[in-house]
Amino acid sequence: MSSSDPASRLLLLMRHGKADAGSGQPDHERPLAERGLTQARLVGEYLASQNVHLAQVLVSDSLRTTQTWQAVLSQMPGFDGAVSFEDEIYLGGVGEVVNLLHGVDDQHGAVMVIGHEPTMASLMALIGDDDSDPGSVAQARLGMPTGGMGVLSGRLEHWSDLGEDSLTLHTIVRP
């Protein structure tokens, strides 16, 4: 998906894939379970099949989110966007993720965030407008499944305009 309209925005909000149980390691260092790797690869296949061209990817700096991104990326051989690993996504909440999105270059029409619950679901519920799919909004209010990804789009002149009721939540992809 790409658009010639510079105000057209696509925002993908993904929860990391299924992680291994604690096993004594710090939460930040928990790796993905095999199921989580499979979930992430399926999201990557979905994005490739939909011809999504991500310009910017913001990833929590935890091990399970960076592994999620690598598995998504493995299914998108033509990816040439920018990627950054952000501790604010791991440590913060909705406000911190919105602040990161406000800093995205306006030339980037398609952006993905890979993070954690409850932040991803809360952010979807916050920015989803009245035209959003009711079932997807209900799912966001309940929480995102592991590996789930919300697909939002709409017109924003600037990423810094992102806020409450800014984009339409179309669907939640559940691998």
Instruction: List, for residues 46-93, the tens digit of each pLDDT value.
Output: 999 999 999 999 999 999 999 999 999 999 998 999 999 999 999 999
Give me the sign of the Cα torsion angle 17, 84, 2, 123: positive
Round to whole Å and give the CA distance between 143 and 128.
14
How much is the pLDDT for 25?
83
How much is the pLDDT for 1?
47
Neighbours of 26 (CB within 10 A): 9
Taking Cα atoms as reference points, which of 11, 90, 120, 116 lies closest to residue 55? 11
Alpha helical stretches, state H, 50-133: 63-73, 87-91, 94-102, 119-127
Q: pTM for the complete prediction?
A: 0.95
Q: Are the C-beta atoms of 52 and 111 separated by less than 8 Å?
A: no
Round to whole Å and give the CA distance between 36 and 78.
23
| Radius of gyration over every alpha carbon of the chain, rounded to an integer in angstroms | 15
Round to whole Å and give the CA distance between 65 and 76.
17
Round to whole Å and give the CA distance between 106 and 159.
6
Give the residue ranges of the chain where pLDDT is below 70: 1-4, 22-23
Domains of the chain: 8-173 (3.40.50.1240)
How much is the pLDDT for 21?
82
How much is the pLDDT for 110?
97
How much is the pLDDT for 4?
57
